Structure formats: C-alpha cells, structure tokens
Amino acid sequence: MKNVALLGLFVLAASAQGASAQQASGNFSDQQKVGRQVFAQSCGVCHLPPSLGARTYGPALNKDAGGGDDDVMREFITNGTPRMPAFKHYLKPEQIEAIISYVRTVPVQTAAAPARRAGGGGEP
C-alpha cells in the first residue's frame, strides 16, 4: 500500500513538472527552441541527468551559467575546457547562439532540503 502511494506521488510530481515544462516551452522563441534541441542532443549527455535524481558529469546549466555572461558561455562552448570538448568544429555559430539563448531561459534550481533520518531523530 505504501508503494502504491509513493508511486502515485511520483506520477503526480512528474506530470506537474512535465506540464510546467510544456507550458514554458510555448513561450520560447524559434531560436530558443532550436537551442533546446541542440542542447539536448549535444550537451545533454553531460549536463542533463540520465534519470530523476541522478548526478550529471558536468554542472547543471541555467541562466546564471558562465556568471550570466554570454561571452563566457560562447568561449566555453566554442573552445571547450580541460573537462569539456570544444564544439567549434561540430556546431555552427548560430547553433551555439541558440544554445546560449535557450540556457538563459532555464531557471536556477534551489537545492533541496537534506532528507531527515528515519525515526524522526535529528543529528546522531
């Protein structure tokens, strides 16, 4: 019974998250839509979690990425870093601009509160 309730909560949370993502995508410009697609195809392997709650290889990207500076983002994407490949030979300049435009629409996620330990106790 407990598992059914947890599954129901998960489905509800996932559908609410999906609905808000779909609603937000209706407000994207054509450039941001292209950027979202190119981001998912070229950047998602490192910057998007493979499953809910999983960690990513690269940092999560949002409107504050690169300190909010488009030139910094452009430099990272174009020439890479020691941990990230350069995309200057793979992506066209307009695709890089589209990625930056899309990433600037992604809100900053607040960190989740740490989970409490079973038994209701605080610190050990």
Letter string b/e over residues 1-16, b meaning 16 or more CB atoms within 10 A of that residue's CB: eeeeeeeeeeeeeeee
Average pLDDT of every residue of the chain: 78
Examine the pLDDT at 77 and tell me if it is beyond 70. yes
Write down the residue that tokens 């038994």 correspond to: 119
Dist CA 40 CA 50 (whole Å): 11
Please name the CATH architecture into which domain 29-103 falls.
Orthogonal Bundle (1.10)
Euclidean distance between CA atoms 35 and 14, whole angstroms: 23
For residue 95, which phi and psi values (nearest 5 degrees)? -70, -40
Residue-wise pLDDT tens digits, 18-76: 433 433 556 999 999 999 999 999 999 999 888 888 888 899 899 999 999 999 999 99
